[in-house]
Amino acid sequence: MTIDRRKFFKSIAITGMTIIGVNASGAPKAKSEDEETEFYGILYDSSICIGCQACEKACAKAHGLPEPTDKPEVGVVRKTSENQRCVLNSYETSQGEVYVRNQCMHCNEPACAAACLTQAMYKTKEGPVIWREDKCMGCRYCMISCPFDVPKFEYGSTNPKIQKCDMCYDRIIKGEKPVCVETCGDALFFGTRRELVAEARRRIAEIPELYVDSIYGERVAGGTGYLYLAPVAPGELGFDTRIQPSSYPALTKGFLYSVPSVFILVPTLLLGIHEATKSRKTKDENHD
């Protein structure tokens, strides 16, 4: 069988460009104007939250989900689901009953986005981590990789989606606040991540007897878009204390950059040869 020379060399050119692109990805890049955009986030103050669930109901209404009917109850752990993007839980702590809100943490370097093969799970330049339906192939790697167990799959749907908080990204790009922040107004504070950290430190400094001197999310998993202030340690509020401080995608960066080009060249070269011969084979079969 002969190979169309034009298509063959075109495939080789594509292969070369792929290798150059991969090798260049390990080198430092100058930041563009978009990359310098500060991430937005939300600061949650559990010392103010009264567990009214107004944020839950507003979220459900804004995203066409069923209104929650169960209530926060000590000893019962409510979890996000395909029908609920955020939940409030109640814990009996060393400082009495304390509420805590759970939703997507919008990591600075999200493991879900790193694991996604099609960039369906995507970290926007504004900060929110969003799911893009048109790119999803349904592998659910995002669910497995998330250290906070957030993305949920609609198993019972004929057209399943991944449900998770997107921080009302459609509102943020219009210059509006997320609907939960707009509804609550007291326990939730919206702003750039720099502003959130400064606000949290200001509150701790002003009322040190009220807060634990720690901002949960400032460093955990490489830093998150949701930050927490609380009168007790994270372990008393149901947070997994085993989550590492550095980002999870960072664990594989060094390995990926050290992979020899031959491991990329060979599969890509074979793919190029396959594409160059495929149309020729089809023509021969039709002729026969």
Three-class DSSP labels, the chain: CCCCHHHHHHHHHHHHHHHHHHHHHCCCCCCCCCCCCCCEEEEEECCCCCCCCHHHHHHHHHCCCCCCCCCCECCECCCCECCECCEEEEEEECCEEEEEEECCCCECCCHHHHHCCCCCEEECCCCCEEECHHHCCCCCHHHHHCCCCCCEECCCCCCCCEECCCCCHHHHCCCCCCHHHHHHCCCEEEEEHHHHHHHHHHHHHHCCCCCCCCCECCCHHHCECEEEECCCCHHHHCCCCCCCCCCCCHHHHHHHHHCCCHHHHHHHHHHHHHHHHHHHHHHHHHHC
Cα torsion 73, 77, 80, 86: sign: positive
Token pair for residue 139?
Answer: 């592998």
Among 102-111, 125-134, 176-185, 264-273, which is the least confidently predicted range? Answer: 264-273
Side-chain half-sphere CA neighbours of 267 within 13 A: 6
Of 34 and 181, the one with more pLDDT: 181
Evaluate if residue 257 carries a pLDDT over 80. no
Task: Say if CB 233 and CB 214 are below 8 A apart.
Answer: yes
Which of 1, 84, 12 is CA-nearest to residue 266? 12
Evaluate if residue 41 carries a pLDDT over 80. yes
Evaluate if residue 254 carries a pLDDT over 70. no
Band (pLDDT 50/70/90 cuts) for residue 32 is very low
Evaluate if residue 267 carries a pLDDT over 90. no
Band (pLDDT 50/70/90 cuts) for residue 276 is low
pLDDT score of 251: 83
**Mean pLDDT, the chain, integer:** 85
Evaluate if residue 272 carries a pLDDT over 90. no
Band (pLDDT 50/70/90 cuts) for residue 15 is very low
Residue with tokens 């759970």: 102
Cα torsion 180, 238, 107, 204: sign: positive
Cα separation of 104 and 110, whole Å? 10
What is the number of residues in the chain?
A: 288
Band (pLDDT 50/70/90 cuts) for residue 216 is very high
pLDDT score of 31: 46
Go through 136-158 and write b for each residue having 16 or more CB atoms within 10 A of its CB, e for each that does not.
Answer: beeebbbbebbbbebbbeeeeee
Of 192 and 7, the one with more pLDDT: 192
pTM comes to 0.77
Which of 52, 93, 70, 43 is CA-nearest to residue 215? 43
